[in-house]
Amino acid sequence: MDVEKMRAGTAILVFATGDRTHAVYLGAVVKVEFSVEVTPLPQAPRTVIGVINWRGRILPVLSMRRRLGLPERSIATDDRLIVARSARRLLALLVDEIVGVASLSEQDIAAAGAIWHGIEGIAGATKISSEVVLIHDLDAFLDGEEEIALESALAGAGSPPR
């Protein structure tokens, strides 16, 4: 996904996990679904809690709680799955709740490097009301080693990698 292209006059899907609000670019979102049972995926990276069958496709499910280092909890019926497209694959992002959609201009978004030098997995940040909202970059959600581990785990589960 071309983050620079998406910044100008774009929208974000805002969600909550724990007591913090985060976002992804709406252009990457395919659908928001109610939570479903997740099948564990052996040998997957820590952030990947398993897989789901979504419309006949096997999708890895990534946990925002694990990514953010928050306490684990059982998947609740009111949790949501954000089905989104990264540059490499379709995936499902498990979040606590969907807050809504926000429309932004380029001036509304601070580049990740301006927030914290060397920050990974963050495309930028914006302010909604008085809260800073980090915008996650799905293309950088997993590092290179985690991508390789996920590919291997999905192949071992009999799933095509994309």
Beta strands in 6-161 (DSSP E): 10-17, 20-25, 29-34, 48-54, 57-63, 80-85, 90-95, 97-104, 110-111, 122-128, 131-136
Instruction: Report yes or no on 97 lying in a domain.
Output: yes
- Looking at the predicted structure, is the pLDDT value of residue 5 above 80? no
Instruction: Report yes or no on 48 lying in a domain.
Output: yes
Instruction: Report yes or no on 161 lying in a domain.
Output: no
The whole-angstrom separation of Cα 156 and Cα 148 is 12
Lookup: tokens for 16: 């909550």
Residues 123/9, Cβ–Cβ less than 8 Å: no
The pLDDT score that the predictor gives to residue 65 is: 93
The pLDDT score that the predictor gives to residue 78 is: 93
Lookup: tokens for 60: 């890895």
Instruction: Report yes or no on 57 lying in a domain.
Output: yes
Residues 102/14, Cβ–Cβ less than 8 Å: yes
pLDDT tens digits along 47-84: 999 999 999 999 999 999 998 889 989 999 999 999 99
Instruction: Report yes or no on 26 lying in a domain.
Output: yes
- Please state the domain count of the chain: 1
What angle (nearest 5°) sits at the alpha carbon of residue 145, between those of residues 48 and 87? Answer: 70
Q: Distance between terminal CA atoms of the chain?
A: 15
Q: Which residue reads 């306490």 in tokens?
A: 71
Which residue segment(s) compose the domain that 83 sits in? 3-156
3-state secondary structure of 147: helix
The CATH number for 129's domain is 2.40.50.180
Lookup: tokens for 31: 């659908």
The pLDDT score that the predictor gives to residue 113 is: 60
Instruction: Report yes or no on 60 lying in a domain.
Output: yes
- Looking at the predicted structure, is the pLDDT value of residue 88 above 50? yes
Instruction: Report yes or no on 162 lying in a domain.
Output: no
Instruction: Report yes or no on 15 lying in a domain.
Output: yes
pLDDT tens digits along 18-58: 999 999 999 999 999 999 999 999 999 999 999 999 999 99
